[in-house]
Amino acid sequence: MGSRVVFPHYRPAAATRAMTVYVDEAQRSPSWPYTWSCHLTADHESELHAFADLIGLKRAWFQGPPGHRIGHYDLTAHKRRMALDAGAVFMPAIEQARVRLAAMKAKKEES
C-alpha cells in the first residue's frame, strides 16, 4: 500500500471562505538560514499585514510585487506554528495556486 501525505490542519477551500489568511506546507530551504520555511498569504494584502502584525512579523519582511507575483511573508517553523495557533488556515501551495488562478480568471471574465 502506498504512503499518503497527511496535512492535519488542512480544510478544503470551500470550508475556509471566512478565513483569509493561509500557510502552506513547510519545506526545507537550502538558500534560507532556517532549515524549514513556508509562506503566509491572504486574499487581501491589508488582512495579510494585520495578521503579520498580530504574530510579530516586521513589515520590512513582506515580499510582494514587482519582485514577487503573490504578496507573502516567509515563516520559520516557529512562526508557522504561531500563525496556525492564531487562526491561519493550512492550505497546500498547489491548492492556493488553483484558488488564485480561478479568482484571476473570474475577475478577467467580469471585465
Mean pLDDT score across all residues of the chain: 81
The pTM assigned to this predicted structure is 0.74
Tens digit of pLDDT for each residue in 5-16? 344 444 444 444
Nearest to 26 by CA among 43, 11, 5, 46: 5
Task: Report how far residue 83's alpha carbon sits from residue 55's, in angstroms, rounded to the nearest whole number.
Answer: 7
Bridge partners for 48 per DSSP: none
Tens digit of pLDDT for each residue in 70-99? 889 999 989 999 999 999 999 998 998 888
Side chain identity at residue 44, one-letter code: H
The pair phi, psi for residue 24, each rounded to 5°, is: -100, -175
Q: Select the highest-mean-pLDDT range: 25-29, 30-34, 81-85, 93-97.
A: 81-85
Q: What is the CATH number of domain 20-110?
A: 3.30.780
Q: Is 48 exposed, middle or buried (0-12, 13-18, 19+ CB in 10 A)?
A: buried
